[in-house]
Amino acid sequence: MPIVLTTLPALSALAAYVVVGYTVYCVSVVVYRLYLGPLRKFPGPRLAAATQWYETYYEIFYHGGGMFTKHIKKLHDEYGLTNTVETGPIVRINPWELHIDDPDFYENIYAPSAPFDKLQVFENRFSIPTAAFSTASHALHKPRRAALAPFFTKSKMQAHAPFIQQLVDTICTRLQDEHAGTGRPVVLNDVFSALAADVVIALAFGDAPTVCASENWKTPFTEAMDNLVSSTHVNTQFPFMVPLTNAIPESLLMKSPAIRPVLEFRHSLNASISRILNTHRSSAKPANGKSRDNDTVFQVLLNSKLPPEELTEERLQHEAVSIIGAGFDTTKQTLTMIAFHILDNAGVHRRLRQELLEVIPDPAVMPSWPELQQLPYLTACIEEGLRIGFGTVQRSPRIAPTAVPYRGYIIPAHTPVSQDSYHMHLHEELFPESGAYRPERWLGDARGPDGVKNLSRYMVAFGRGARMCLGMQMAYAELYLMIASMIRRLDLELYETDRSDVDFYVDWLTPHAKPESKGVRVLVNKA
């Protein structure tokens, strides 16, 4: 008893010292960030400058999370009142990051040759840290991207376009044969998921397409991808969650309804990578070292000049998740957005259909993808859908190794700086009535507000610079072929669907509609 009695006061004193010490530390950090740190002079809420919990609140808790991108726009509206021509639209959004809403500065941050890194905390949020998309270091990202780039050229995608058209034809035939005149609504989100899944899996692994012919259009990994992207904010705000989850025995994780589909998805991709590696080891490389038109993504990667340590099974597994995810979710979301707005605007639908009727008298004989790209109104409908759909909506900060001048400020070296498609595409000076779907804004010699720069310069749905989306041409092929075929061949009518079923509500890296949305539902009328 005497030992216990003498120990308790000592423990209490130690606890008090710890509490006082931690409090002093926290106060010191806040004082430094607000009054002494290198970002102290930049406008923004004091709470955001003081603590990362400001961002965490909007990404995790407020309205279910994923709301910080929209909140940043409010910050620009509020603190823009203190901006001048000299200082510009710049806001401090957390203790160490700045956000800029300046269309003409975008290419300074996302420049093709700039040696800018990404944030390290973004590297492992999807548990694929060695994928090119995830790689934070510019020096390491550059060769990883270069090894993949030969597959995604426009000429390579033109070679694959007939295959994509076959899938599109399968979809249109099924919609006509199975649904026309039935009064049974079809969810276009699911239909476009099937197309995107079959395309990206076939081009990545060489697997035969199966989803477009499946009974309910459901992909085997739609739920997995939704669960994966919806975890982005938890993993970003609390980076320890990824290694913590990975440390839990898989047998326990498989009992979780949210995690099980993700694990099954990863197992499926890992099996495909294993098969590709075994085939590669027993096959001869191309004689001239160049990729062939029928090579898959991973054949191109394995035949690249990357060293062996960059071609390990684990790194290829990470690349697989990245490629499938990037080629699936954004394409599905963009197709859904474009289809909705065409069907929701009678004038747009009528004009597009007339353009297609003139060049496609026989819907059984569709033009090639390059020929469709020459159609001005179809192109305008697609560009406007990309604009109002944003592509990936979440900001992707860049870190410059040297100080960057911006109007009246000097942004310190190694400071994360970001812009995003949400702010760019809704900029009223660039796109008047920016919330409206108006394909006409892209017709003719469309120019920016200065009358000099092409309006397309401000289209950043695929990003810009050294980390611009590699799959842009693949996405364009799917958008042109699917939209042209669907509008020319089918008579579709929206069913109990409005803009809230497609409009950006929550940021899950890509923009997603309200959680209660049932998707874009349509009726297929008899021709």
Instruction: Check whether 86 has a pLDDT greater than 60.
Output: no
Q: What is the arithmetic mean of pLDDT over 100-126?
A: 94
Task: Supply 32's token pair.
Answer: 């430094």
Q: With 0-12 CB in 10 A as exposed, 13-18 as middle and 19+ as buried, what is 327?
A: buried
Residue 360: inside a domain: yes
List pLDDT tens digits, range 260-312: 888 998 999 999 999 999 999 887 666 555 666 678 999 999 999 999 999 99
For the stretch 297-302, contacts whose Cβ atoms lie closer than 8 Å and that sit 24 or more positions apart, written own/partner, are 297/148, 297/151, 297/203, 297/204, 297/323, 298/204, 298/205, 298/273, 299/206, 300/147, 300/148, 300/150, 300/151, 301/147, 301/148, 301/151, 302/276, 302/277
Residue 14: inside a domain: no
Residue 25: inside a domain: no
Query: Any residues with CB less than 8 A from the CB of 369 and at least 6 apart, and which?
Result: 157, 158, 161, 164, 165, 476, 477, 480, 481
Binned at pLDDT 50, 70 and 90, residue 227 comes out as confident
Query: Any residues with CB less than 8 A from the CB of 109 and at least 6 apart, and which?
Result: 100, 116, 398, 417, 418, 419, 465
What percent of the chain is predicted at pLDDT more than 70? 95
Residue 22: inside a domain: no
Number of domains in the chain: 1
Listed ranges 22-31, 169-178, 247-256; the one with the highest mean pLDDT: 169-178
* Cβ proximity of 98 and 92 under 8 Å: yes
**Mean pLDDT over each residue of the chain, to the nearest integer:** 92
Instruction: Check whether 257 has a pLDDT greater than 90.
Output: no
Instruction: Check whether 5 has a pLDDT greater than 60.
Output: no
Q: What is the arithmetic mean of pLDDT over 74-84?
A: 79
* Alpha helices in 360-394, H assignment, sequence order: 369-372, 376-389
- Among candidate residues 307, 280, 141, the one with its CA nearest the CA of residue 205: 280
Residue set of the binding site for heme? 469
Other C-beta atoms closer than 10 Å to the C-beta of 261 total 19
Within its chain, how far is the Cα of 471 from the centroid? 11
Residue 479: inside a domain: yes
Q: Which amino acid is at 412?
A: P
Binned at pLDDT 50, 70 and 90, residue 6 comes out as low
Instruction: Check whether 87 has a pLDDT greater than 60.
Output: no
What whole-number distance in Å separates Cα of residue 63 and Cα of residue 30?
A: 27
Residue 20: inside a domain: no
Q: Residue 446 is part of a domain; what is its CATH number?
A: 1.10.630.10
SS3 475: helix
Strand ranges of the sheet holding 521-525, from the earlier edge strand across to the other edge: 186-187, 521-525, 491-494
* Cβ proximity of 392 and 463 under 8 Å: yes
* pLDDT, position 235: 93
* pLDDT, position 282: 80
* Cβ proximity of 406 and 105 under 8 Å: yes
* pLDDT, position 7: 66
Residue 29: inside a domain: no
Q: What are the beta bridge partners of residue 94?
A: 97
What percent of the chain is predicted at pLDDT more than 90? 79
* Cβ proximity of 121 and 97 under 8 Å: no
Q: What is the arithmetic mean of pLDDT over 134-162?
A: 97
* pLDDT, position 84: 59
Binned at pLDDT 50, 70 and 90, residue 95 comes out as very high
* pLDDT, position 85: 53
Residue 228: inside a domain: yes
Which of 42-51, 189-198, 253-262 is the least confident region? 253-262
More confident residue, 254 or 9: 254
DSSP string of 141-171, one letter each residue:
HHHHHHHHGGGGSHHHHHHHHHHHHHHHHHH
List pLDDT tens digits, range 328-350: 999 999 999 999 999 999 999 99
- The DSSP code for 19 is H
Q: How do strand 521-525 and strand 409-411 relate by DSSP bridges?
A: unpaired
Residue set of the binding site? 469
* pLDDT, position 185: 97
List pLDDT tens digits, range 20-39: 888 888 999 999 999 999 99
Instruction: Check whether 2 has a pLDDT greater than 60.
Output: no
Q: How do strand 416-418 and strand 97-100 relate by DSSP bridges?
A: parallel
Instruction: Check whether 1 has a pLDDT greater than 50.
Output: no
Domain that holds residue 308: 37-525
* pLDDT, position 435: 96
Which of 10-14, 99-103, 357-361, 481-485 is the least confident region? 10-14
